[in-house]
Amino acid sequence: MLANVEKRTLLTVITEAVIEQSLLRDLEKQGVRAYTVSDARGRGSRGIRDAAWDEVANIRIEIICQRAQAELLLSHIQDQYYTDYAMVAFMVEIEILRGEKF
Amino acid sequence: MIDVVVLFFLFGLLAGLARSELKLPAALYESLSLILLLAIGLKGGEGLAKQALSPLLPQLGAVIVLGVLQTLIAFAILIKLGRLGRSDAAATAAHYGSVSVATFAVGANWLMTRGIDFEPQLAIFLTVMEVPALIVGIMLARGVSKDTDWRALAHESFLGKGVTLLLGGMAIGWIAGPEGLTPIKGLFYDLFKGALALFLLEMGLIVSRQIGELRKRGAFIISFGLFMPLFSGLLGLGCASLLDLSVGGMTLLATLAASASYIAVPATMRLAVPEANPALSLSAVLGITFPFNIMAGIPLYHYFAVQLAGAL
């Protein structure tokens, strides 16, 4: 059993690759200091997004932070992006090492 | 006789419609567009090194006016006849006021195959005509409001991948001149047609995915996709004859005017006018206008250019 495990929240945002730059800039303004971005494919209410070319490419952004900050970020992106962009965002409770990092 | 590169497009289109497993790696598509953009830039820059640049300025002014005019006319048609919402009309109009590098490349290739010369500044026209429609489109959708982040948009439009590569290629071509370019001619000039053929194969696959969307859109958007390039092409021919271009130059400027953007404009519009439906503009541009231009439009514009040059 690991002794120094701490609870944090993982916020995952799956959205259109076209808004990557502006979304990341926005998240940084909201105080996000670290994140991981990966390319993603899938299908949803906006059709097949198979990353065959830029306009239908998706990305997945993952942010590990405190629960309170994750909630703030989630409501911020809901206000700013949900109506006009293909976007799915969700939170999961996770356990991490090195709590001072997140 | 249909050009061989266009056959690759048709192959991709049919394979896509038949739901073939065929899929080009995304990195290949990116690399091919990089080679095509640089090759067009290099060729333009090389030609420009042989002539004085100052007479070009009024010509650039003329093609900027051309791009603005096309956007405004397309907007009026889409609002009045198509009864589209303001944002959708503005975003779609911006696509049609701007230009498509792929269509330009097919047009240039069509002329080169037939040994018809065109002026090197057409490459600059291509670069310059990307931008005015974007700005007009955003202003039509938004009005001149304080909310618009013009700095970010300027960055997006002037330093986007396409414009950067074209300008970089032109600068290198201009500095190096014909002799300096000899060592890299193999990649950028000799392989141009092969790269274009593969690129168009992928374009065929992309277009095939628009057909379903197009069925949902109905007659207006289909007829707009056919009418607008014809109208813009004639406008381009008029502009070209005012600028005293050769028949090849007239054909290519008409092709530029008739073409509609499907890379730079959709990406920027998605950010600047997010409420506009991107599927609407793309289905018209890719499903109708692009195939029409490369298969029927370019020979037609050339025919008109010959008639017009004969009449003058």
pLDDT in tens, B224-262: 999 999 999 999 999 999 999 999 999 999 999 999 998
Nearest-CA distance B101 → chain A (Å): 16
- Three-state helix/strand/coil letters over A42-84: EEECCEEECCCCHHHCEEEEEEEECHHHHHHHHHHHHHHHCCC
For the segment B178-229, what is each residue's pLDDT rounded down to a tens digit?
899 999 999 999 999 999 999 999 999 989 988 888 888 888 999 999 999 9
Q: Is this structure's pTM higher than 0.95? A: no
Name, in order, each residue with C-beta under 8 angstroms of B67's C-beta and a sequence gap of 6 or more.
B97, B98, B99, B128, B129, B131, B132, B133, B136
User: Can you tell me whether residue A90 is helix, strand or coil?
Assistant: strand
Which 42-71 residues of chain A touch chain B by CB within 8 A? 47, 51-55
Q: At A16, which helix (H) or strand (E)?
A: strand A6-16
Cβ contacts of A47 on chain B, cutoff 8 Å: 279
Q: Which residue of B has its CA nearest to A23?
A: B271
Q: How many residues does chain A have?
A: 102
**Is B282 an interface residue toward A (CB < 8 Å)?**
yes
Determine the Cα–Cα distance for residues A68 and B104; give it in Å rounded to an integer: 52
B197's tokens? 């053929």
Q: At B163, which helix (H) or strand (E)?
A: helix B161-181
Determine the Cα–Cα distance for residues A51 and A16; give it in Å rounded to an integer: 10
Cβ contacts of A51 on chain B, cutoff 8 Å: 26
Q: Which residue of B has its CA nearest to A22?
A: B271
**Is B205 an interface residue toward A (CB < 8 Å)?**
yes
User: Can you tell me whether residue B191 is helix, strand or coil?
Assistant: coil
Q: What number of CA atoms fall less than 13 Å from residue B74's CA on the CB side?
A: 42
Q: What is the mean pLDDT of each run of 10 residues along chain B (312 residues)?
A: 90 94 87 92 89 87 95 96 92 95 95 94 90 90 71 75 88 92 92 93 90 84 95 96 94 97 85 86 92 96 93 70
Name, in order, each residue with C-beta under 8 angstroms of B151's C-beta and a sequence gap of 6 or more.
none
For chains A and B, count residue pairs whose Cβ atoms are closer than 8 Å: 32
Q: What is the DSSP letter of B297?
A: I
User: What is the percentage of chain B residues whose pLDDT exceeds 90?
Assistant: 64
Q: What are phi and psi of B147, to 5 degrees?
A: -65, -30
Nearest-CA distance B74 → chain A (Å): 23
User: Residue A47: is its pLDDT beyond 70?
Assistant: no
For the CA atoms of A87, A93, A99, A100, the dihedral, rounded to the nearest 10 degrees, stands at: 40
